[in-house]
Structure 1
Amino acid sequence: MNRMNMTSMLLAAALAIVAALPAEAKKKKQQAPKPPKSAYQKLMDKGGRISAEGGFVNLHKIQGKLYVELPLKYCGRDFLIASTTSKSSNAKLAIVGYKPQDPMCVCFNRLDSAIVLQTVNTGTIADDPLQVAYDRSYANPIIRKYRIAAYNADSTAVVFDMTDLFVGDEKQLSPVSSNYSVLGIKPTFQKDCSSLGNVKAFEDNATVTSTLSYKYSLTFLGSEVSQGQLTTEVTRTLLLLPELPMKPRIADSRLGIFLTDKSRLTMASDGIENFSYANRWRLEPRDSAAWSRGELVEPKKPIVWYVDDAFPEAWKEPLKQSVLIWNKAFEKIGFKNVMQAVDFPKNDPNFDPDNLKYSCIRYVPTPVKNAMGPSWVDPRTGEIVNASVLVYNDVVKLINNWRFVQTAQIDPRVRTKKMPDDVISESLSYAFAHEIGHTLGLMHNMAASAAIPVDSLRSASFTQKYGTTPSIMDYARFNYVAQPEDKGVRLSPPDMGVYDLFAIKWLYSPVKGNLSVEQEAKELEKWVDEKAGNPWYRYGRQQVEARYDPSALEEDLGDDPVKAGTYGVKNLQYILAHLDGWIKDDESTSHKQELYDGISQQFSRYLNNALANVGGIYLTDVKEGTKGQRCKPVSADKQHESMMWVMKQLRNSSWLDAPQLTAKFPLALKRSISIKGGVGRKLLQLNNRVLLASHITDNGYTQKDYYDDLYNGIWEPTIKGNRLTDGDKLLQRLVVKETVGSVAKLSGAATKNLAGEASSPYAPSVSDIVLYGLDPTGYVEQHANQMESLDEANGNGYIASLLSDNNHGDKSLSGRNFGDKIGYGFQFDVKTDLIDESAAYNLQMLSKIKALVRSRIASAPASDKPHYQAILTMLKVLDK
C-alpha cells in the first residue's frame, strides 16, 4: 500500500470517528472556552487607561486611580519621593518651583501578599562589627501597605494602587509649609476638590501630577488672623537612587558648608559618635589620568541649570552669567565646563522643570525683595541631587535701592529713578551668583568682609583685584566706603572671592589615592589647617539665634565699623543733599520716599554695626594646635570708641531730617527722632553684653566703663549747660526710664523696664530683623510697628524667637563641636545673672543724674526746665 492510500484511509477513519460522536460532544468540541484573563490583563483592559512606561517603573492611570507597576528587582532599593509645586493659586503660600519639604527617602519591599513602603533609616550607620545590633535596632519603619492587585505576565513585576500617596494629605509631600514668617499655616486637605493628573515614566524616575486643594488659616500666636482657599498642582517625582552611593566627605566646621548629619555605632570611641557629611554634587573627572597630569577635564556629569521662560528677557543673561561665574572656581581644581546654563527647552517633550532630575532657576512673581537657593540631597551621603534658585520679582527693587544708597556718591549711572541695564545686569549677576553658591553647598560666611582694612576699599588697585569681600557668600553688598573723589574704585563684590575658591576646592577637588572616607578627611583637614589664622579664609556663621560677633554681621564692610560708618555717613549726607535734584519724573514722590527710607535704614545699620562692638566677642572655630582664638572680646578701646561714636552720631543726626525734601512726604515724625528712639533703646541694653565680654578677659571694657560712657554721652549737653534738642530729651528720658526700672527691681517694685521681662541682650531685635534681612519674606518689616510693640512687651528677641521656631534662615542642626562632629549650631545666650551687678551701677548712675539735674535746673533755658522737672519726678524712686 503506497503512502497516499495509507493517508487517505487514516483520514477516512478519523472522519468516521468524529461522525460517530454524539451531537452534544461535537458542540462542546467546537465551543471550547478561551483561557481566563489574568488579573493584570483585566486591569490593563479597563476603559480610559493611560500608561507611562519607562526603563524603571510603569505608571497606569485607570479610572482616577494610580497604579504603580514595580519590577521586583527594585525591592529593597532606595528611592527619593519629592514634591514640587507646579501651579499655585497663592504664590506666597505655595511657591512654583519650590519643594517646601525635604524628599522622602524610601524603599519598597514585598511582605506576604502585599508591598510595603518603608522610610529608609539614613541618620544612623554602623561599623561592621556592630551591624547585627544595628539591623535589630534601626530597622526601616513601614509607613504604607499596599495590596498587590496583579503580577505582570512573567511575574517579574507587581502592580498596586498608590493613589492615596499622590492624591492625599501626605504631610511629607505637602506643597504648603507650616509657616510663613512669624505666621503659622494650618492647611485642611479638601479631598473632593483634588484629583490625579498626568503620569510620565523615564529611565530612572517617574512623575505624577496631582491637583490638591486646601482650606487654610493663618495664625499668629495661636489666634487666627485670616483664612482662605488654596489650590495647587504638584509634581511628585519617584527617583531611583544610585545602587553605589557617592563617596561622602566629612565636614569641617571651619568652613561654612551645608550638612547632612549622622550618628555612628562604633567601638572606636566611647559612646555613639556624631558627625556630619558635607553636602555636594557628585563631581568626577571624565578622564582621571588626564586630571592627574594637571590637565583641565570635563566632569562625567556637568551641573546643568535651566532658566525659566517666564523671566523678563533682560534678566536671562545675568542669570546665566551667575551660573558660569562659578566655572572659575572649578577650573582652579582641574575641571572645565562644570556649570552650564540653558533656556527651558521648547521642543523636548521629556523636559519637566518640576522633575527632580532638573535643576532650574525660577521666577516668582510676588512683591518679595529676595532670592533663595535651596538644594536637596541623597540623605545617605549628602550628595546634592537637585537644586533651585528662586528669584522674587521685587529683588530688582532692592538692588535699585542698594545701588543708589550705597554708591550714588561716586557712580553717576545710578542717580536715576530707573537703573540702567548695565547696572542692573552686574548687580543681578552678583545677587544670583550668591544663590548659586548656596546650591553648590556653601553657607553664608558673614565674617568674610571683616578681613579687609577699611581704607583698602578706597583703593582702585585693591578693589579691582579683590572687590569688597573675600566671599560673595557674605552680605557685603556694594562699596559704601568709597568717597566721591576716589577714582577707579570697584563698587561691587568680586566675581569670586578667595574664600569661595578655597571652599570649592575643599568640597570638590578629588583627593589622590584610594583613601577611605576617614583618611580623606584627615588630608582635607590639613588644607584648612594651613589657612588657620588667616582672616581671608575665616568662616563666620550667620548669627540667627544670638548676635555676639561684630565681625560676622550682614550688610557691613571692612575691619572697623566706626571708620567704615564714618565714611558711610559722609556719603549718605552727600546723597541726601542731592536726592531731590537727581530723581526726576516722580510727581507722587513715592520713589524718593523709598530712597529716603533706604538712606535712613543705611544710617541705622552704621550705628548698629558699631554698637555690635560694645560687649562684642569674636567667635571662631579653632582646632587645637592651629592659629586662632575661639572667643576674643573686642578691645576696651574699641568698645569705648564705638559707644562714643554712636552717641555723637545720634546727637548730630538732624541732617537726616532734610526738611526741604520731607516736606513733600506724608505727615511723620522727624526721622532723626525715630532713629534716636530705636538706637537709644539698644544703647541701654548693652550692659549684660559688656559684662560677659569683660568676664572672659582681665583688661576688658567693664560695666563701670560702660555706665560712665553712657552717662557722659547722653548727659553731655546738660553737663556743658547747652540747650537741649528734642533728641537730647528723648535719650535722657529713655535712660532714666530704663535705669529706674532696673533699680525698682531691687525693692520688688512692679515697674517693667523697656526691654521686657524676657529680654535677651544677644537676640536680634525687630529693627535687626529688618535692617539685616533676617526675615526673607519681608513680613516682619511690613508689620514692624506691631512687632516692635510685642518685642517691647515680651522682651528683646521675642519676635526673633518666633522666626527661629519657624526655621527661617540658613540654619544647621544642633551641636557646637569641632571638625567631624555634628552640625555647626549657633551660639546661644550665656546667662550672666550670677555675676550681674548692673542694678548697682544703674543706681549709681541715677544718683549722678539726680545731682546733675538739680545743679542745672535753675540756670537751664526755660524750654528745658519742664523736661528736667519731669526727670526729677521719675527719679523719686531713689527716695523710697
Structure 2
Amino acid sequence: MKINFKVVLPLLVAVPCLVLGQEKDVSVKNPSDTVKKETPGPPVKIKPYEEVVTDEAVSSPGLFTVHKVKEKYFFELPDTIMNREILAVTRFVKTPGAATFYGGELANQQTVYWEKGPDNNVFLRASILVVQSKDSTQAITRAVKASSLDPIVASFDISAFSKSKNGVVIDVTDFFKGDNQVVSLTPYQKKAIKITNIAADKSYISGIRSFPINTEVHSVKTFTVTPTTGPYRPTEKPIVAGMETGFITMELNTSFLLLPKTPMQRRYFDKRVGYFADELTRFGDEQQSVKPVSHIVRWRLEPKDEDIEKFKKGELVEPKKPIVYYIDPATPKKWRKYLIAGVNDWQVAFEQAGFKNAIYAKEWPENDTTMSMEDARYSVIRYLASPVSNAYGPNVHDPRSGEILESHIGWYHNIMKILRNWYMVQAGAIDKRARKMEFDDELMGSLIRFVSSHEVGHTLGLRHNMGSSSQTPVEKLRDKSWVEANGHTVSIMDYARFNYVAQPEDSIGPKGIYPRIGEYDKWAIEWGYGHVRAKDYDEERKLLFGMTTKRLADNPKLWFGGEGSLQDPRSQSEDLGDNSMKASEYGIRNLKRVMANLEEWTREEGDTYDNFNELYGEVTTQYQRYIYHVMKNIGGVYFTNKSSMEPGDQVEIVERSKQKEAVDFLIKQVFVTPDWLISEDVLGKLNEWPVKKISSLQEAALRCLSPGMLLMIIESAERSSDPYTLTEYLNDVTEGIWSELDTKESITLYRRNLQKMYITSLSAIIKPETKPATPGAMFTIIEPTTVNSDVQSIVRHLLHNLKRRIEKKASKTKDELTRYHLEDVTLRITNVLKDK
C-alpha cells in the first residue's frame, strides 16, 4: 500500500541580528515612513450580473453554479457557502507513458473554504487543522485562533453580484488554467519527475460540471521539464516524454466536495486496535498538560431512522448509506467478479457491528453519462496498466472527524505476476494447480479475491496487523479440518500469504491455504463501526476503552501486533504460526520439493530459462524470509500494548529456549551449506554464480553478529529471569560455524567463505569503521557503538580462544586449501587483536 506522509514544518523564530559598529536609532517606526507606497490601481469595477453572465452563458447549477461564457469560466458562490469547509480532491485522469503514477490515482488533497475579502474580492483559504480548543466558549479558544491562521491560497475579484444579491460571481479561468498548488501537483511530486513551470499556452480547462454537493473541474496541464544529466536518485525518475521533448502533459480532475456542516462524531483511537488515525493538539482551560488527541478514520454508517430502535436492540439493519465500490470498466471482464467478491467478503464483519448489506461492489455503469470515476462521490477499484506488481487501498476523509468520504483502490495489472510467483513457491508443493507458469482463471481469480479483500480493509480504516498470524499454533496449520474451518490467520490484514507450513501428506484444500476475513477483522469492524451509547466523544472514549480491555482479556487472539517495526518475533510480515523455527523448517521442506520440480513447472515454449531463473530468485527470497523470521527471536522482546489497569507487563523477554532454538536453526539450515539450492541440475540453468549466491545468503544471516544484535542480547539477558547470555550465544554460533575444528574434516569452499565472513563481522566489533554514505542512497544503516560495553570484552576473549583452536587444527590438517585458509584467518585475528 502506498502511504502519504503529512510533513509538519518547524516553527521559524526570528532572531534579531547584532550589528557591531556605529550606534543607530533603533526606535520602532511606522513602516509607511520607510517603505515607498505603491500607487493604488483603479478600484475593481463590479459589473451588472447580465454583463458577466450573458445570454451566451452555458450554466451548470450545483455546489457552485458554473457559467461558461465563451472561453471563460465563472463560479457563482452563494453567501451560504462562505466559510463552509470543502474538500478539494485532485486526481490524475491521464498521465504520460512510463510514468510511475496513473489515471485515477490521487495527486493532491486539501480542505479549503471561501471567504469574502476586504476589497470587493473573495479569498480561497486552505484549512490546516493541527490544533483545536475543546470548547469554543473557553478562554483559551482566543489563543488557539491566534496561533492557527489559515493561509490564503488564492484571491479573486468579484465580477458581479448574483441576481438575488445573495452571492457573488468570480472568474476562475486563470486559476484553473494555472498551477496553484492546492489544485495541482505538490512540490515534492514535481521534483520527483523533474518538472518546473507550467506552459500556459499549452494548458487549458477542458470542462467544469457542477452537482448538488460537488463541483468537478477537468483540466489539461503541460509542464516544462528540467534537463536530466547523469544519475538520479531512486525517488526521482524523469519521464520519457519529458526527456525527449522538454514537456509533459497530463490531465487532472479536481473535485470540490462540500463537507457536512456538523462533522460526524469522532471515535477515539486506541492503539490496541489497528486503525489509521488523525492526530491534533487539543487545548482546554482545565488542562494541566497538553496531550495530542487522535481519532480513527471510518465511514459514516448509521441505521435508517425507522430502524434505530432495532439497531439498539442488536438486530441487524441496513445502513442509510451503504459503502459502495464500483469496478473500473478498464478491468478485464473475467476478473471483475473476483474483485467484487473481495469487497462483499467484508459483509460478514459488518454484521458483527450490527449492519447487513453494509458494503458491496458492482460494475461501473458505462452508459451513464451523468457519472464520472473522477467524481469524489464515488469509490472505485481503478485498474492501472502498470508493470508494477502491487495494489494499494487509500481513502479520502474529512480531517475534522475522520469520516471517510471515498476511496480509489489502485490495482496494478501486473499484480498477477507476483501472485503467481508467491503461490507457486509457497503452495506448489501442496496444490497441483500451482505447477505451471499460467494459472487457470479460477485459481488466479481466487488469489485476486484475497488481495481485493485486503486492500478494501485498508479503505475501511484498518492498518496492517502483522501480529495476527502468530496467534495460530504451527501444528494447527497442518490440521486439515481445523485450518479449513478457521483459516491459517485470524486477520486478512496481516501479510500472511499462503499456508507454506502444510505438507503434501496433510491433503489441505484451498480453504486452508488462502487468507480470509478472520476473527480479528470482525472484532476490529465491530469496534470501529458498532454502536456505543454515549453522549459525546469523551464519554464514548471511556466506554470503548473499558470494552476493549475486557474483550482482549477474554480473547487474546484479538491482539493487534502493529506493522512489525518492533523487535517482537510475533509481529512479522510474510510469516505464519506461533513458532518461527518450526514454521520455517516446514517451509524449507516444501521449498526443497519446489526446487526438485522447478524446471518442469517453469517450462514454456519459447522460454530460454528466464522463467526458471525468475522463480529460482523467488525461492531464495522465500528462504531468506524464513531466516529473518527466525533471527527476530534472538534477543527479542514481546511487546503488548496494555491498559495500566490490566495485570502483567507490556514488555517480556523471548524465552531462552526459543532463542537457542533460533540459533540451532541458523546453524543447521543456513550455516551448514544449503546444497539443495545449488544442485548439479540447478547450476547448469542458473544465470548467477552459486558461490556468490550462497555467500550473500549466509552474509545476511550473519547480521546475527551485528553490534545492534549483540547489544540487544546483553539487554535481554540482563532483564530475563532465565537469561541467554551473550557469552553462551556467541559460543553457540561459533561452534556451529567452526565445527570442523574438532574433527578431521576438510573445510569446503562455502564454509571457508562463511568463516572469513564471521571474522570480518567480529572484526567490526573490535575495530568499528565509519563507512561513507553511498551517493544517491535513500538511507544508511547506522549501527550502535559497542566501544563502552561488554560486547568488545567478550568478543576479544572469544577471538583469543578461537585463534588457539585454529592454530591447533592448522598444524594437523593435510588438506592444502584448508591449511591455507586457517593460516589466513589466524593472521586476520592477530591483526584485529592488535592495538591500533
TM-score range, shorter chain: 0.7 to 0.9
- What is the one-letter code of the residue matched to 1:67? F
Of 175, 196, 206, the residue aligned with 2:205 is 196
CA distance in 2, matches of 1:331, 1:377: 23
Give 3-state SS (helix, strand or coil) of 1:624's partner. coil
- Conserved? CA contact 2:325–2:380, under 8 Å: yes
Give 3-state SS (helix, strand or coil) of 2:108's partner. coil
CA distance in 1, matches of 2:786, 2:816: 43
- Conserved? CA contact 2:46–2:159, under 8 Å: no
- What is the one-letter code of the residue matched to 1:711? T
Question: Deviation of residue 77 (structure 1)?
Answer: 1.0
CA distance in 2, matches of 1:87, 1:238: 19
Q: Which residue of 1 aligns with 2:689?
A: 668
Question: Deviation of residue 53 (structure 1)?
Answer: 2.1
1:679 aligns with 2:701: yes
Of 541, 546, 551, the residue aligned with 2:570 is 551
Q: Which residue of 1 aligns with 2:83?
A: 76
Q: For residues 694 and 656 of structure 1, do their structure 2 counterparts lie closer, same or farther at Cα, with a shift above 3 Å needed?
A: same
Cα deviation code 1:756-813 (max 9, x no counterpart):
489xxxxxxxxxxxxxxxxxxxxxxxxxxx99x969xx8536xxxxxxxxxxxxxxxx
Q: CA RMSD in A?
A: 2.6
CA distance in 2, matches of 1:92, 1:696: 51
Give 3-state SS (helix, strand or coil) of 1:609's partner. helix
Q: Which deviates the most, 122-131 or 726-735?
A: 122-131
Question: Deviation of residue 184 (structure 1)?
Answer: 4.2
Cα deviation code 1:436-483 (max 9, x no counterpart):
000000000000000111001001122112211110000011000000
Q: Which residue of 2 aligns with 1:876?
A: 830
CA distance in 1, matches of 2:186, 2:266: 31
CA distance in 1, matches of 2:791, 2:322: 59
Q: Which residue of 1 aligns with 2:316?
A: 296
1:99 aligns with 2:53: no
Q: For residues 845 and 171 of structure 1, do their structure 2 counterparts lie closer, same or farther at Cα, with a shift above 3 Å needed?
A: farther
1:506 aligns with 2:515: no
1:166 aligns with 2:189: no
1:232 aligns with 2:250: yes
Q: For residues 852 and 311 of structure 1, do their structure 2 counterparts lie closer, same or farther at Cα, with a shift above 3 Å needed?
A: same
Question: Deviation of residue 179 (structure 1)?
Answer: 5.9
Q: For residues 740 and 473 of structure 1, do their structure 2 counterparts lie closer, same or farther at Cα, with a shift above 3 Å needed?
A: same
Give 3-state SS (helix, strand or coil) of 1:622's partner. coil
Cα deviation code 1:134-167 (max 9, x no counterpart):
3344343322221111112221221112334423
Structure 2 matches for 1:727-766, cutoff 5 A? 727-745=750-768, 751=769, 756=771
- Conserved? CA contact 1:681–1:734, under 8 Å: no
CA distance in 2, matches of 1:51, 1:703: 77
Q: For residues 714 and 388 of structure 1, do their structure 2 counterparts lie closer, same or farther at Cα, with a shift above 3 Å needed?
A: same
CA distance in 2, matches of 1:481, 1:222: 36
Q: Which residue of 1 aligns with 2:130?
A: 123
Q: For residues 837 and 63 of structure 1, do their structure 2 counterparts lie closer, same or farther at Cα, with a shift above 3 Å needed?
A: farther
Q: Which residue of 1 aligns with 2:781?
A: 796
Question: Deviation of residue 122 (structure 1)?
Answer: 2.5
Q: Which residue of 1 aligns with 2:19?
A: none
CA distance in 1, matches of 2:173, 2:824: 72
CA distance in 1, matches of 2:621, 2:330: 33
- Conserved? CA contact 2:122–2:155, under 8 Å: yes
- What is the one-letter code of the residue matched to 1:687? L
Of 149, 156, 177, the residue aligned with 2:159 is 149
Question: Deviation of residue 566 (structure 1)?
Answer: 0.7
- What is the one-letter code of the residue matched to 1:194? S
Of 531, 556, 566, the residue aligned with 2:585 is 566
For normalisation by structure 1, the TM-score amounts to 0.83
Q: Which residue of 1 aligns with 2:29?
A: none
1:864 aligns with 2:832: no
- Conserved? CA contact 1:266–1:273, under 8 Å: no
Q: Which deviates the most, 626-635 or 596-605?
A: 626-635
Q: Which residue of 1 aligns with 2:51?
A: 42
Q: For residues 277 and 223 of structure 1, do their structure 2 counterparts lie closer, same or farther at Cα, with a shift above 3 Å needed?
A: closer
- What is the one-letter code of the residue matched to 2:438? K
1:254 aligns with 2:272: yes
- Conserved? CA contact 2:398–2:405, under 8 Å: yes
Question: Deviation of residue 333 (structure 1)?
Answer: 2.3
Cα deviation code 1:260-293 (max 9, x no counterpart):
1121111333122311011000000012122223
Q: Which residue of 1 aligns with 2:470?
A: 450
Cα deviation code 1:577-617 (max 9, x no counterpart):
12223343253222222221111111111111101111212
Rg bigger for which structure?
Answer: 1
Bigger relative CO (Cα 8 Å, ≥ 6 apart): 1
CA distance in 1, matches of 2:653, 2:355: 42
- Conserved? CA contact 1:94–1:175, under 8 Å: no
CA distance in 1, matches of 2:265, 2:827: 72
Structure 2 matches for 1:313-324, cutoff 5 A? 313-324=333-344
CA distance in 2, matches of 1:115, 1:293: 50
Q: Which deviates the most, 489-498 or 464-473?
A: 489-498
1:699 aligns with 2:707: no
Of 67, 74, 86, the residue aligned with 2:74 is 67
- Conserved? CA contact 1:178–1:186, under 8 Å: no
Q: Which deviates the most, 569-578 or 679-688?
A: 679-688
Q: Which residue of 1 aligns with 2:4?
A: none
CA distance in 1, matches of 2:541, 2:365: 40
Q: For residues 554 and 262 of structure 1, do their structure 2 counterparts lie closer, same or farther at Cα, with a shift above 3 Å needed?
A: same
Give 3-state SS (helix, strand or coil) of 2:104's partner. coil
Question: Deviation of residue 682 (structure 1)?
Answer: 4.8
Give 3-state SS (helix, strand or coil) of 2:505's partner. coil
Cα deviation code 1:599-654 (max 9, x no counterpart):
11111111111011112122221111124532222112211221221122111401
- What is the one-letter code of the residue matched to 1:723? S
Structure 2 matches for 1:519-668, cutoff 5 A? 519-533=539-553, 534-543=555-564, 546-586=565-605, 587-650=607-670, 651-668=672-689
CA distance in 1, matches of 2:442, 2:410: 22
Q: For residues 230 and 466 of structure 1, do their structure 2 counterparts lie closer, same or farther at Cα, with a shift above 3 Å needed?
A: farther
CA distance in 2, matches of 1:42, 1:488: 76
- What is the one-letter code of the residue matched to 1:566? E
CA distance in 2, matches of 1:396, 1:225: 25
1:709 aligns with 2:732: yes
Give 3-state SS (helix, strand or coil) of 1:519's partner. helix
1:351 aligns with 2:371: yes
For normalisation by structure 2, the TM-score amounts to 0.87
Question: Deviation of residue 187 (structure 1)?
Answer: 2.8
Cα deviation code 1:714-752 (max 9, x no counterpart):
11123334221222112211121222233235xxxxx56
Structure 2 matches for 1:822-833, cutoff 5 A? none
Cα deviation code 1:817-852 (max 9, x no counterpart):
xxxxxxxxxxxx9x6768632222221122122111
CA distance in 1, matches of 2:431, 2:499: 11
- Conserved? CA contact 2:397–2:406, under 8 Å: yes
Give 3-state SS (helix, strand or coil) of 1:108's partner. strand
Cα deviation code 1:334-367 (max 9, x no counterpart):
2111112111112222211111111100011111
Q: For residues 338 and 224 of structure 1, do their structure 2 counterparts lie closer, same or farther at Cα, with a shift above 3 Å needed?
A: closer
Give 3-state SS (helix, strand or coil) of 2:504's partner. coil
